[in-house]
Structure 1
Amino acid sequence: MFGFDLCFRIDEAALPTPKSTQSEWTLYENWGHSNCLSLMIIKTKIAKHIRKSILESERTREFLALVEQQFEAADKALAVKLGPSLERFPSAQGPNEEGVSGLSLGQ
Protein backbone atom coordinates (compact mmCIF):
# COMPACT_ATOMS: atom_id res chain seq x y z
CA MET A 1 0.00 0.00 0.00
CA PHE A 2 1.90 3.00 -1.22
CA GLY A 3 1.27 6.14 0.79
CA PHE A 4 -0.66 4.29 3.48
CA ASP A 5 1.07 6.35 6.18
CA LEU A 6 0.67 9.67 4.37
CA CYS A 7 -1.80 10.94 6.97
CA PHE A 8 0.90 10.46 9.63
CA ARG A 9 3.77 11.98 7.66
CA ILE A 10 2.15 15.25 6.58
CA ASP A 11 -0.53 17.53 7.95
CA GLU A 12 -3.97 17.43 6.40
CA ALA A 13 -3.84 18.54 2.79
CA ALA A 14 -5.66 21.78 2.07
CA LEU A 15 -8.91 21.60 0.16
CA PRO A 16 -8.02 22.29 -3.48
CA THR A 17 -9.59 25.14 -5.37
CA PRO A 18 -10.53 25.18 -9.06
CA LYS A 19 -7.17 26.90 -9.68
CA SER A 20 -5.18 24.18 -7.86
CA THR A 21 -2.66 22.12 -9.77
CA GLN A 22 -3.09 18.44 -10.53
CA SER A 23 -0.44 17.56 -7.92
CA GLU A 24 -2.38 19.46 -5.23
CA TRP A 25 -5.55 17.55 -6.15
CA THR A 26 -3.63 14.26 -6.09
CA LEU A 27 -2.10 15.03 -2.70
CA TYR A 28 -5.53 15.92 -1.30
CA GLU A 29 -7.09 12.70 -2.61
CA ASN A 30 -4.17 10.52 -1.47
CA TRP A 31 -4.16 12.09 1.99
CA GLY A 32 -7.92 11.51 2.34
CA HIS A 33 -7.59 7.90 1.20
CA SER A 34 -4.69 7.29 3.61
CA ASN A 35 -6.57 8.90 6.49
CA CYS A 36 -9.72 6.88 5.85
CA LEU A 37 -7.89 3.54 5.58
CA SER A 38 -5.72 4.20 8.63
CA LEU A 39 -8.68 5.19 10.75
CA MET A 40 -10.66 2.15 9.62
CA ILE A 41 -7.81 -0.27 10.38
CA ILE A 42 -7.09 1.27 13.79
CA LYS A 43 -10.74 1.16 14.79
CA THR A 44 -11.05 -2.51 13.82
CA LYS A 45 -8.15 -3.37 16.13
CA ILE A 46 -9.78 -1.75 19.18
CA ALA A 47 -12.37 -3.79 21.08
CA LYS A 48 -15.93 -2.53 20.62
CA HIS A 49 -16.52 -1.91 24.34
CA ILE A 50 -13.39 0.26 24.47
CA ARG A 51 -14.10 1.99 21.16
CA LYS A 52 -17.50 3.14 22.47
CA SER A 53 -15.80 5.17 25.21
CA ILE A 54 -13.61 7.09 22.74
CA LEU A 55 -14.96 10.20 21.07
CA GLU A 56 -15.40 10.05 17.30
CA SER A 57 -13.01 11.80 14.96
CA GLU A 58 -12.62 11.92 11.19
CA ARG A 59 -8.83 12.36 11.38
CA THR A 60 -6.46 9.55 12.33
CA ARG A 61 -4.00 11.66 14.32
CA GLU A 62 -6.82 13.26 16.28
CA PHE A 63 -8.40 9.85 16.97
CA LEU A 64 -5.10 8.47 18.29
CA ALA A 65 -4.77 11.50 20.59
CA LEU A 66 -8.29 10.78 21.89
CA VAL A 67 -7.34 7.14 22.49
CA GLU A 68 -4.28 8.26 24.44
CA GLN A 69 -6.37 10.64 26.56
CA GLN A 70 -8.88 7.88 27.28
CA PHE A 71 -6.18 5.49 28.47
CA GLU A 72 -4.48 8.16 30.60
CA ALA A 73 -7.81 8.80 32.32
CA ALA A 74 -8.40 5.06 32.74
CA ASP A 75 -4.90 4.58 34.20
CA LYS A 76 -5.48 7.36 36.73
CA ALA A 77 -8.85 5.92 37.72
CA LEU A 78 -7.32 2.47 38.15
CA ALA A 79 -4.49 3.88 40.28
CA VAL A 80 -6.99 5.65 42.53
CA LYS A 81 -9.07 2.49 42.81
CA LEU A 82 -6.12 0.16 43.48
CA GLY A 83 -4.08 2.56 45.63
CA PRO A 84 -5.59 1.69 49.02
CA SER A 85 -5.52 -2.05 48.37
CA LEU A 86 -1.86 -1.96 47.30
CA GLU A 87 -0.87 -0.14 50.48
CA ARG A 88 -1.92 -3.20 52.50
CA PHE A 89 0.86 -5.28 50.97
CA PRO A 90 4.36 -4.32 52.23
CA SER A 91 6.07 -5.95 49.25
CA ALA A 92 4.23 -3.59 46.90
CA GLN A 93 5.73 -0.52 48.60
CA GLY A 94 9.31 -1.30 47.66
CA PRO A 95 12.42 -1.38 49.84
CA ASN A 96 12.77 1.13 52.64
CA GLU A 97 15.89 2.43 54.37
CA GLU A 98 15.87 -0.33 56.97
CA GLY A 99 15.26 -3.06 54.41
CA VAL A 100 18.13 -1.98 52.17
CA SER A 101 20.65 -1.57 55.01
CA GLY A 102 19.75 -4.98 56.41
CA LEU A 103 20.53 -6.81 53.15
CA SER A 104 23.56 -9.05 53.02
CA LEU A 105 25.65 -8.48 49.93
CA GLY A 106 27.66 -11.66 50.41
CA GLN A 107 30.51 -9.99 52.29
Structure 2
Amino acid sequence: MVPVFLSFRQGTTGTVQTRDEVVAFALAGDVLSFLQGKGFDQVDGQPAPDLVAEAVAARVLPPDPRFKPTLTVTEVPPPAPNVPFQYKILVVGVAWTSGGVSRSVKMSGLLFRASP
Protein backbone atom coordinates (compact mmCIF):
# COMPACT_ATOMS: atom_id res chain seq x y z
CA MET A 1 0.00 0.00 0.00
CA VAL A 2 2.86 2.42 0.75
CA PRO A 3 4.39 2.25 -2.77
CA VAL A 4 1.03 3.26 -4.27
CA PHE A 5 0.89 6.43 -2.17
CA LEU A 6 4.54 7.15 -2.94
CA SER A 7 3.80 7.04 -6.67
CA PHE A 8 0.92 9.51 -6.26
CA ARG A 9 3.21 11.93 -4.45
CA GLN A 10 5.91 11.69 -7.15
CA GLY A 11 3.49 11.67 -10.08
CA THR A 12 4.22 15.15 -11.46
CA THR A 13 7.97 15.25 -10.78
CA GLY A 14 8.93 14.38 -14.36
CA THR A 15 6.44 16.85 -15.81
CA VAL A 16 7.74 19.73 -13.67
CA GLN A 17 11.37 18.86 -14.47
CA THR A 18 10.63 18.73 -18.20
CA ARG A 19 8.72 22.01 -18.10
CA ASP A 20 11.55 23.70 -16.21
CA GLU A 21 14.10 22.43 -18.74
CA VAL A 22 11.99 23.74 -21.62
CA VAL A 23 11.69 27.16 -19.93
CA ALA A 24 15.46 27.23 -19.26
CA PHE A 25 16.35 26.31 -22.86
CA ALA A 26 13.88 28.91 -24.16
CA LEU A 27 15.48 31.60 -21.99
CA ALA A 28 18.98 30.56 -23.10
CA GLY A 29 17.87 30.59 -26.73
CA ASP A 30 16.32 34.04 -26.37
CA VAL A 31 19.47 35.48 -24.81
CA LEU A 32 21.66 33.82 -27.45
CA SER A 33 19.49 35.10 -30.31
CA PHE A 34 19.52 38.62 -28.87
CA LEU A 35 23.32 38.61 -28.58
CA GLN A 36 23.79 37.24 -32.10
CA GLY A 37 21.55 40.01 -33.37
CA LYS A 38 23.71 42.66 -31.67
CA GLY A 39 26.69 41.72 -33.79
CA PHE A 40 30.33 40.89 -33.30
CA ASP A 41 31.57 44.26 -32.02
CA GLN A 42 28.74 44.76 -29.52
CA VAL A 43 29.27 41.49 -27.65
CA ASP A 44 32.25 41.57 -25.32
CA GLY A 45 33.25 39.43 -22.38
CA GLN A 46 33.59 42.36 -19.96
CA PRO A 47 29.99 43.56 -19.43
CA ALA A 48 28.43 40.08 -19.60
CA PRO A 49 25.90 40.67 -16.77
CA ASP A 50 24.75 43.89 -18.45
CA LEU A 51 24.31 42.13 -21.80
CA VAL A 52 22.30 39.34 -20.17
CA ALA A 53 20.10 41.86 -18.32
CA GLU A 54 19.52 43.75 -21.59
CA ALA A 55 18.64 40.51 -23.40
CA VAL A 56 16.22 39.41 -20.67
CA ALA A 57 14.57 42.85 -20.62
CA ALA A 58 14.00 42.62 -24.39
CA ARG A 59 11.88 39.47 -24.04
CA VAL A 60 8.15 39.75 -24.64
CA LEU A 61 7.28 37.72 -21.56
CA PRO A 62 8.94 38.50 -18.23
CA PRO A 63 11.24 35.69 -17.09
CA ASP A 64 10.55 33.45 -14.14
CA PRO A 65 12.75 34.80 -11.31
CA ARG A 66 13.90 31.26 -10.43
CA PHE A 67 15.96 31.11 -13.63
CA LYS A 68 19.37 32.84 -13.52
CA PRO A 69 21.07 33.28 -16.92
CA THR A 70 24.83 33.77 -17.26
CA LEU A 71 27.05 34.51 -20.24
CA THR A 72 30.60 33.55 -21.16
CA VAL A 73 32.23 35.13 -24.22
CA THR A 74 35.47 33.63 -25.50
CA GLU A 75 37.33 35.23 -28.38
CA VAL A 76 39.05 32.53 -30.40
CA PRO A 77 42.14 33.35 -32.46
CA PRO A 78 42.08 32.26 -36.11
CA PRO A 79 43.36 28.70 -36.52
CA ALA A 80 45.97 29.87 -39.05
CA PRO A 81 47.42 33.26 -40.03
CA ASN A 82 45.80 33.13 -43.48
CA VAL A 83 42.24 32.57 -42.15
CA PRO A 84 40.40 35.86 -42.78
CA PHE A 85 37.85 35.56 -39.94
CA GLN A 86 37.54 36.39 -36.25
CA TYR A 87 35.41 34.25 -33.94
CA LYS A 88 33.66 34.58 -30.58
CA ILE A 89 32.08 31.63 -28.81
CA LEU A 90 29.03 32.50 -26.71
CA VAL A 91 27.88 30.17 -23.94
CA VAL A 92 24.63 31.02 -22.18
CA GLY A 93 23.96 29.07 -19.02
CA VAL A 94 20.69 29.02 -17.10
CA ALA A 95 20.58 27.75 -13.52
CA TRP A 96 17.58 27.14 -11.28
CA THR A 97 16.49 25.11 -8.28
CA SER A 98 13.62 22.66 -8.56
CA GLY A 99 12.49 20.43 -5.73
CA GLY A 100 15.57 21.38 -3.71
CA VAL A 101 17.93 20.24 -6.48
CA SER A 102 20.15 22.68 -8.37
CA ARG A 103 19.87 22.25 -12.13
CA SER A 104 21.39 23.99 -15.12
CA VAL A 105 21.53 23.93 -18.90
CA LYS A 106 23.95 25.49 -21.37
CA MET A 107 23.55 26.59 -24.96
CA SER A 108 26.36 27.80 -27.19
CA GLY A 109 26.58 29.93 -30.30
CA LEU A 110 29.16 31.48 -32.59
CA LEU A 111 29.75 35.02 -33.76
CA PHE A 112 32.14 35.67 -36.61
CA ARG A 113 33.23 38.40 -38.97
CA ALA A 114 35.83 39.01 -41.62
CA SER A 115 39.15 40.20 -40.21
CA PRO A 116 39.77 43.91 -40.71
Q: What is the TM-score with the length of structure 1 in the denominator?
A: 0.39
Q: What is the TM-score with the length of structure 2 in the denominator?
A: 0.36
Structure 1 or 2: more strand by fraction: 2
The structure whose Rg is larger is 1
Higher relative contact order (CA 8 A, sep 6+): 2
Structure 1 or 2: more helix by fraction: 1
